[in-house]
Amino acid sequence: MTNDLDFDGLAFLVYRSSAVDRLTETDLDDILHAARDRNQALSVTGCLHFEDGLFFQWIEGPAQAVGEVFQLIDDDPRHSDLTVLGQGPLDARRFQNWRMRYSDREHGSLMDWFANSEVATVDRKDYAGGVVAFLTAIAV
Ligand SMILES: Cc1cc2nc3c(=O)[nH]c(=O)nc-3n(C[C@H](O)[C@H](O)[C@H](O)COP(=O)(O)O)c2cc1C
């Protein structure tokens, strides 16, 4: 998958994907360990939310590093149907202190968030905005 992250400065990318059915707790641990090691090395931060078999991830950092990490993620066979919800330049990091924050529905439910919000899930732009608002809200 191509990306639009060929510029200097900070960038973000947010996507949704489907975990493979057989994904285990060990897989999740492995993903987070590898993610946190590489993200630290590349100055990438962000968050990963897992709910109802879906991953929602925000990655941020130097644009080329975000592109590099995204390429690895995109090639990872532990998930599929990856849809980029948004990407572009970023003024300031939102997950400054997180090499990769992890949450699942015990921390907060995106589905409940949508059910209780005015955001229309059918509008692609609003949907992406809703995902980002949710990820940011549960991180505090
Ligand atoms: C949902 C998901 C999120 C991931 N997030 C990251 C990430 O933020 N940073 C990263 O380096 N790898 C991430 N990975 C893992 C990469 O796809 C890849 O497996 C890993 O970078 C390989 O690391 P290694 O070469 O050290 O084994 C993620 C994988 C999945 C399935």
Percentage of residues in the chain having pLDDT higher than 70: 92
Name the residue ranges covered by the structural domains of the chain: 10-138
Of 74, 65, 79, nearest to 2 by C-alpha is 74
Q: What is the chain's pLDDT, residue by residue, as a tens digit (140 residues)?
A: 667 898 899 999 999 999 999 999 999 999 999 999 999 999 999 999 999 999 999 999 999 999 999 999 999 999 999 999 999 999 999 999 999 999 999 999 998 888 887 655 556 567 888 899 899 888 86
Domain range 10-138, CATH architecture: 2-Layer Sandwich (3.30)
Q: Is the CB of 45 under 6 A from ligand 1?
A: no
Q: Is the CB of 69 under 6 A from ligand 1?
A: yes
Pairwise CA distance, residues 109 & 22, whole Å: 22
Condensed to tens digits (0 to 9), the pLDDT of residues 48-69 reads: 999 999 999 999 999 999 999 9
Task: Tokens for 26, please give them.
Answer: 């060990």
Pair 8, 63: CB distance under 8 Å: yes
**C-alpha pair distances (Å), 95 with each of 18, 59, 98, 130:** 23, 9, 5, 17
Task: Tokens for 125, please give them.
Answer: 């732009």
Which atom from ligand 1 is nearest to the alpha carbon of 79?
31
- Mean pLDDT over all residues of the chain? 91
> What is the DSSP code (8-state) at residue 94?
S
